[in-house]
Amino acid sequence: MGDVIGIEKRQRRLAVRLARDATDLAAVQRLRWQVFFEEMGAQAQGLLDEIDADPYDALCDHLLVIDEDQPGTLVADGQVVGTYRLLRESVARAAEGFYSAGEFDLAPLLAGEGRVGGELLELGRSCVLPAFRTSATISLLWRGIADYIAAHDIGLMFGCASFPGTDPDAHAPALSLLAHTCLAPAGQRPRVHHGVALERLPRGSYDERRAMLALPPLIKGYLRCGARFGDGAFIDHAFNTVDVCVVLPVEQISQRYATRFSVAA
């Protein structure tokens, strides 16, 4: 599970911390099933007991947001209502590699002119129960990530973020906006292995303001922090999503959000 660090910040009746044991992990896996499979229509492939689990879970640290006012069926201090999966480069290199490498060529991040100081950190499997999709919950997750960044000398964060469904043309303006205005520098730009082009429409043929509003909330949040994106999109039929690769060097986190992340911009 990785080293448990002292993440313990509260806002209202919510708390955030890292998973401590197998019981915490089981609660995370159950939450992910609720969001990805029951709500978003992911396809179960040999998964049992209504949990979302894969071999990467054992390698990763798992950030939990807990509602302390609700009795937890698994976790003693409340109900797990949000989570992020965190995989450090040193752990990934010693084991199975990064999850995102199955969808994107990460070579520009791992070695090359785009390499930054500090470790890489892959962010993944982010989900929050519908009733808790508020700024308070998201702020707690990001503050937890900020503590993790500081504890492990993280230089760059990356990972897959998703559009719902598997038809990229249903998101043509939003995907095209990313292609036209938000690509990562060439030296830090992962490229999709087997996917589709981000650019679905020529620039000027769509309303960029409406395209921005149509972006999924998580992707808009990454953009506000200063994130850029890889080349191409991956069609993930198993999870019923169109995935893009987010790239966010810690030193480039926008000043507005640097305080939120508690790191120097």
Q: What is the pLDDT of residues 55-83, one digit of tens each?
A: 999 999 999 999 988 766 667 678 899 99
Q: What is the pLDDT of residues 109-130, one digit of tens each?
A: 998 666 678 899 999 999 999 9
Q: Which domains, from first to last, does the chain contain?
A: 9-261 (3.40.630.30)
SS3 per-residue string spanning 54-69: CHHHHCCEEEEEEECC
d(CA 241, CA 160): 11
Q: Which residues pair with 236 in a beta bridge?
A: 241
Whether residue 1 is predicted with pLDDT greater than 80 in this model: the reply is no
Whether residue 2 is predicted with pLDDT greater than 50 in this model: the reply is no
Whether residue 4 is predicted with pLDDT greater than 50 in this model: the reply is no
Q: What is the pLDDT of residues 180-222, one digit of tens each?
A: 999 999 999 999 999 999 999 999 999 999 999 999 988 998 9
* Dihedral of alpha carbons 230, 162, 130, 126, sign: negative
DSSP label at residue 7: -
* Dihedral of alpha carbons 93, 35, 219, 231, sign: positive
pTM above 0.95, yes or no: no
Q: Mean pLDDT score of the chain, rounded to an integer?
A: 88
* Alpha carbon separation from 220 to 117, 162, 174, 179, 195 (Å, rounded): 26, 11, 11, 14, 22
Query: What integer pLDDT is reported at residue 47 of this predicted model?
Result: 60
Query: What integer pLDDT is reported at residue 252 of this predicted model?
Result: 81
Token readout for 259 is 């305080």
Contact in structure between 140 and 14 (CB atoms under 8 Å) = yes
Radius of gyration of the chain from Cα atoms? Answer: 18
Amino acid at 254: S
